[in-house]
Amino acid sequence: MGFEKLGIRALVTFLLGPLILLSAWVGGLVFFAVATIVVVLALHEFYEISTNKGVSAQKWLGLAAAMYAAYLLYAGLSQHIWLVLTVLLLLSVSVELFRNVDNPILNVSVTLAGILYIAIPIGLLPAIRQLPWSGAGFRDETGGAMVILIFLCIWICDSAAYIMGSRFGKHKLFPRVSPNKSVEGTAFGFLFAVLTAFISQVTFLQEVTLLHVLAVGAICGSFGQMSDLIESLFKRDAGVKDASNLIPGHGGVLDRFDSEIVAVPLVYFYLVYFVVA
């Protein structure tokens, strides 16, 4: 990455990053709206890059299902997600009868996969913000602080992995999927994610035990990087470099939030079963 592109990327992060963190802190409908916009844009990019594989996903049906699924997660009605997936499956296979396009199996599969791969994981961010923190003995603001922690760990992990990997990287991590990622960069990324979690606990997350906060940092630092590799695998398979060019210096929305896709559900389940139980 050249200095000019790196500078543009840093500028965009400086402008958009605080807005995302502020919306997470405010929570409520504000953060739900931000997360839903991310879901819609990222899912649209996912459907677009799938066209390179000859897939004609049912975009509008998928986007509508994604928004409704995001609402159910925000409203604490996750038990109805199966209803959304079932209705989407039945509608998509029925619609495919009348579309007269190639690859109906792939079309239905990718339409449904977009909800599972993007809408539900990103939709869990507002769900984390809305967990019953006060009922578990925490401050109401703990949910916002926890979401901010997730973003900080993932963003700093990503930056540290790139910078330190560029400087010290000698051993390729996964050249078949991402030729530029190194074992050294990945290790530094994980280390900085855990360090970020430690600093966060002693500054603005003191009500949550250090062990729990470090566990969240470890999940973000490990599975966040794996999630980034998964998106790289999909892009390489589709023959594209970026999901889109919507965000200068970053590519698409899916490129910017790819690390959250695997990490966020794991953090959510960890918090539900071990912290807010």
- The DSSP letter of residue 247 is B
Whether the pLDDT of residue 14 is over 90: the answer is no
Three-class SS of residue 182? strand
- What tokens does 212 get? 């729990």
- The DSSP letter of residue 241 is S
Helix and strand numbers, DSSP H then E, in the chain: 11, 2
Whether the pLDDT of residue 122 is over 70: the answer is yes
Task: Tell me the pLDDT tens digit for each residue of 216-263.
Answer: 999 999 999 999 999 999 999 999 999 988 877 678 999 999 999 999
Rg, Å, the chain Cα set:
19
Residues 6+ apart with CB under 8 A from 136: 275, 276, 277
To the question of pTM greater than 0.85 for the whole model, the response is yes
DSSP string, 210-271: HHHHHHHHHHHHHHHHHHHHHHHHHHHHHT-SSS-SSBTTTB-HHHHSTTHHHHHHHHHHHI
Amino acid letter, 131: L
Task: Tell me the pLDDT tens digit for each residue of 175-186.
Answer: 899 888 999 999
Task: Tell me the pLDDT tens digit for each residue of 180-211.
Answer: 899 999 999 999 999 999 999 999 999 999 99
Whether the pLDDT of residue 120 is over 70: the answer is yes
Give the other-Cβ count within 10 Å of 54's Cβ: 11
Whether the pLDDT of residue 164 is over 70: the answer is yes
Whether the pLDDT of residue 84 is over 80: the answer is yes
